[in-house]
Amino acid sequence: MATPPETTTFFTKAIRYLMNTGVPISPTIITKAQGTRLYDTSNRQILDFTSGQMSSLLGHSHPEIVSVVQTHVAELDHLLSNMVTQPVVDLAERLARLLPAPLEKSFFLNTGSESTEAAIKMAKYYTGKFEIVAFVGSYHGLTQGAGSATYSAGRRNGGPCMPGQLAFPAPYAYRSPFRKADGSYDWETELEFGWSMVDRQSVGSLAAFIMEPILSTGGVLELPDGYLQRMEAECRKRGMVIIMDEAQTGVGRTGNLFAFEKAGVVPDILALSKTLGCGLPLASVSTTPEIERGCREAGFLWLTTHLNDPLTAAVGNKVLEIVERDGICQQAAERGAQLREGLLRLQDKYWCIGDVRGRGLLQGIEIISDKDTKAPGPELGQEVSDRAMACGLSCNIVNLPGMGGVFRLAPPVTVSAEEIEEGLTILDEAFAYVLDARGMRS
């Protein structure tokens, strides 16, 4: 079918006037987003299994969120940063009530990069040290400090990183070379190896370990049972604070309000973003009174144009209210279990699905090109993703060195059981189409 002239004109202008930031432009022009659906220029419906940029937790244009935005755009949108407003205090109070003690001090920013940047700076101020440890599969943002603690992408050709950055092996059960005699994953030995490498590299100034409870961009890698408790003990032994980045796992998506709660470990600093704003630019940093006191005494400063903005704070407060009121965590657990069951059925059916992993409504499937060697299959995965989009399903695939193409499936937590089945059916059709076209079905 011929491309409409207006579409050609659109992309001509996009290529001419938009700077290339390293992110490929989608060939689909979206004109509307409502609930779990996207709509293109021909009004074709596309089921959104990425929640926008992993952010639209309650779906697109949730009516209560729309109402809050309309009210505050008209009455209380943006002020001088030192003018504290009722929506900001309300959000801080609600977060303090929902978070485990002693996390009760918060401030509010715009993006995940900004929240992790601030958290890293706080850890340095509080400890008086400067070394930051992060997983090799980490993605904490691309500003200078956050980008220096990001090892999955964006490290080449940008000049020196921040001093004191140390990498730690990510718990990648499917591909880790650390194995017990029976072939099972030996994460304990891997963790000990990681710390031995850190201790050899450190100059004696270990400030913090920043981590996600499930590495999302790094391939949907869930920490093994007992891992976070061991990690906490090792950090405490070295006088390090724990920064938890829950940009994609927080606010109910995994079946817990905060994913770290499953392990019973409380971080020293928590960074939220994406899901907290339900698609609007809102992030938070929460910590303890003790760390806040130490940062204040050390002269910590964080001042940005949109620090503690009332409009987005009101949105965040409404998001948390809805999540708590409507039993969103339980919904995410139930729909996540349904999605996981369906993905396991697809794994049984298609040899190229090497692994299924994740928690709640953050599920991952890793695509391989060889069943015996588990060789990565990023090109195959991209073809399946493209075919799924053509059939009406938006699903993100991460292609990083050292792993296969990994689909991140993260629909809004308001997704229905029928929509989960619809998405699984489209995925089924996409795998069958691509493998048949390649002559690789069996």
Tell me the CATH number at 135: 3.40.640.10
Residue pLDDT, tens place only, 298-310: 999 999 999 999 9
Q: What band does 206 get if pLDDT is binned at 50, 70 and 90?
A: very high
Residues paired with 105 in a beta bridge = 287
Q: Which of residues 308, 325, 342 is at a domain's end?
A: 325
Q: How many CA atoms lie within 13 A of 288 on its CB side?
A: 14
403 pLDDT higher than 90: no
Q: Which of residues 261, 295, 325 is at a domain's end?
A: 325
Report the domain count for the chain: 2
Provide mean pLDDT across the span 263-269: 96
Q: Is residue 68 part of a domain?
A: no
Provide mean pLDDT across the span 113-131: 98
Could you give the C-alpha distances from 293 to 109, 125, 131, in angstroms and in order? 20, 11, 21
170 shares its domain with 315: yes
Q: Is residue 338 part of a domain?
A: yes
Q: Is residue 383 part of a domain?
A: yes
DSSP secondary structure string for all residues of 168-198: E----TTT-S-B-TTS-B-HHHHHHHHHHHH
Q: What band does 400 get if pLDDT is binned at 50, 70 and 90?
A: low
Q: Is residue 39 part of a domain?
A: yes
The whole-number pLDDT of residue 301 equals: 97
Residue pLDDT, tens place only, 272-285: 999 999 999 999 99
102 shares its domain with 224: yes
The whole-number pLDDT of residue 118 equals: 98
The whole-number pLDDT of residue 402 equals: 59
Q: Is residue 71 part of a domain?
A: no
The whole-number pLDDT of residue 66 equals: 97
257 shares its domain with 339: no
Q: What band does 2 get if pLDDT is binned at 50, 70 and 90?
A: low
Q: What is the DSSP letter of 427?
A: H
The whole-number pLDDT of residue 76 equals: 95
234 shares its domain with 107: yes
DSSP secondary structure string for all residues of 42-109: T--EEEESSHHHHT-TT-BT-HHHHHHHHHHHHH-----TT---HHHHHHHHHHHHHSPTT--EEEEE
388 shares its domain with 418: yes
**Chain Cα centroid distance, residue 433:** 30
442 pLDDT higher than 70: no
290 shares its domain with 149: yes
Residue pLDDT, tens place only, 33-54: 999 999 999 999 999 999 999 9
Q: Is residue 122 part of a domain?
A: yes
Residues 6+ apart with CB under 8 A from 58: 65, 278, 319, 322, 323, 328, 412, 413, 414
Q: Output the six-digit token pair for 404.
A: 């296969």
Tell me the CATH number at 410: 3.90.1150.10
Strands 45-48 and 37-40 turn out to be: antiparallel
Alpha-carbon span 221 to 168, nearest angstrom: 14
Which residues participate in catalysis according to the annotation? 139
Provide mean pLDDT across the span 16-27: 88
Residue pLDDT, tens place only, 323-339: 999 999 999 999 999 99
Q: To the nearest whole percent, how much of the chain has pLDDT over 90?
A: 88
Q: Is the dihedral of CA 229, 234, 238, 242 positive or negative?
A: negative
Q: Is residue 149 part of a domain?
A: yes
Provide mean pLDDT across the span 218-233: 95
The whole-number pLDDT of residue 133 equals: 98
The whole-number pLDDT of residue 175 equals: 94
Provide mean pLDDT across the span 8-18: 90
The whole-number pLDDT of residue 438 equals: 86
Provide mean pLDDT across the span 138-156: 91
> What is the extent of the structural domain holding 82?
76-325
15 shares its domain with 149: no
Q: Output the six-digit token pair for 322.
A: 């809805």
The whole-number pLDDT of residue 384 equals: 94
262 shares its domain with 141: yes
56 shares its domain with 127: no
17 shares its domain with 81: no
Per the prediction, the chain carries an average pLDDT of 94
Q: Is residue 69 part of a domain?
A: no
The whole-number pLDDT of residue 249 equals: 96
Q: What band does 102 get if pLDDT is binned at 50, 70 and 90?
A: very high
Q: Which of residues 292, 325, 358 is at a domain's end?
A: 325
**Tokens 């493998």 map to which residue?**
435
145 shares its domain with 199: yes
Please name the residue ranges forming H helices in 128-270: 144-148, 187-201, 227-237
85 shares its domain with 168: yes
The three-state secondary structure class of 224 is: coil
